[in-house]
Amino acid sequence: MTPLSTEPSYKAVTFPSLNTGGKDKADAAAYAAGHTAGYTAGLRKASAEAETRRVQMEAEHAAVLRQASVRTDRALDQLAAAVQALHKAALPSALEAQDILLSSALELAENIIGVELGDGEFSARAALSRALAGAPATGTVTVRMNPSDLSVLPDTARAGVTFTADPSVERGDAFADYEHGYVDATVTDALARTRQALFGVVR
């Protein structure tokens, strides 16, 4: 009978060698490549979105500018129409006021002339001057005047002029007769010509 030994029995165990260095490097490289690819894709997407937004903002800005331009043009057209309407409305009033002023001025002139006609010698001299001013410088000229005006003309005013007393001629008026016509030197005719010339220009 063999006695049992109380000493522990040991046996060597051999473990397989685990060489993980290459795998770790491959995993790290794959992770880095994936990270780079994802980051690049993200940048590209963000850039594309930013470009889309930029184009959209430019289009919106252009639309706002077009609308503003349309509103500005419309406002300018309305302003021009208002100015034109105001001008048309004001022009008749201005012309009417100018006519009134001219008429008043002519009436005042007529009144002044009427007062001046009260001075016989002055009105006679004035009538003679108007008649001779419109007559030709050569040839025979005969001045027709009211007898009362002729009676107050001094001899100096009569020198070198042929006169005819004509009762049909109003005081302060005169006619100069010459070979081919005559000159109307009446106050009424002068005022009529003045009125026609003034209102003809105004209108």
pLDDT tens figures, 54-69: 777 767 656 655 665 6
CATH of 119-201, one of 3.40.50.2300, 3.40.50.10490, 3.30.2320.30, 3.40.50.300: 3.30.2320.30
The 10 Å Cβ neighbour count of residue 103 is 13
pTM of the model: 0.40
Q: Which of 33-37, 84-88, 178-182 has the highest mean pLDDT?
A: 178-182
Q: What does the chain look like in DSSP terms, one character per residue? A: -PPPP-S-------PPP---HHHHHHHHHHHHHHHHHHHHHHHHHHHHHHHHHHHHHHHHHHHHHHHHHHHHHHHHHHHHHHHHHHHHHHHHHHHHHHHHHHHHHHHHHHHHHHHHTTSHHHHHHHHHHHHHHHS-SSS-EEEEE-HHHHHH--HHHHTT-EEEE-TTSPTT-EEEEETTEEEE--HHHHHHHHHHHHHHHH-
pLDDT (mean) for 75-79: 62
Kindly report, residue by residue over 96-141, the tens digit of the pLDDT. 656 665 555 555 455 455 445 555 788 888 888 888 887 777 778 8
Residue boundaries of the structural domains of the chain: 24-94, 119-201
